[in-house]
Structure 1
Amino acid sequence: MYLQSQYIILILLIWIFTTRKTASALFGMPAKLANAIKHDGITFDQAAEAFFDPFLKLVDAGRNHESRDAVIGYDEKGRLLFVVHIEVEGEFIRLISARKATLTERNAYDF
């Protein structure tokens, strides 16, 4: 199931990044806020870049019975990021948080 979701997310992201406005809509965020939001120094755009890593790992990040997934992937600056997100009604992805990957998450990415 996770592998299938990875491919669906990747295909959607390739399609939606033709324009910033479309990308912001898919990620559930107004375009004017997309550049301003930072979590642990990671901007919205940098967090979205992790979804383009061809070797990204999709892992379960659920807590408190809430279904969440996380992507572990590199951004364009070569930083390994841990990006928590949810799929809303199968229509778009809402980014919850983004930060640099921990040592444990780095090891999960490598295997």
Structure 2
Amino acid sequence: MSHPMGFTQFLAACDFIIGPTQEIVVVGDPGNQKTTDMLRAVKQAYLPNKVLLFRGKQDAFEELDKIAAYAGEMASAVPVDRPTTFWCQQFACREPITAVEKLKSIIESA
């Protein structure tokens, strides 16, 4: 007898493979309210095929940089005091987003 959850997980994996997927990188200081607002907006949105990475500006992200080097490259391009979201789909990124309202608008249209 097969387990019913196994089939559900299989369907979820198929949906992820078929896409579209959103690859979202939020870069900023975790103590900054704007960074928190950006993370909250992405986390609260129903985007079942999203991959969300948070990358702070400090150097404590060595493990993340090993598996997602692009996150470190994105972080190095962002001013320390300017939280930024990089919204990518099918491995093509939009312009960097620095306004929470703009991020919410993109989420609503996704």
Class of the TM-score when normalised by the shorter of the 2 chains = under 0.3
The normalised TM-score by structure 1 is 0.28
- Which structure is higher in helix share? 2
The normalised TM-score by structure 2 is 0.28
- Which structure is higher in strand share? 1
- Which one has a bigger Cα radius of gyration? 2
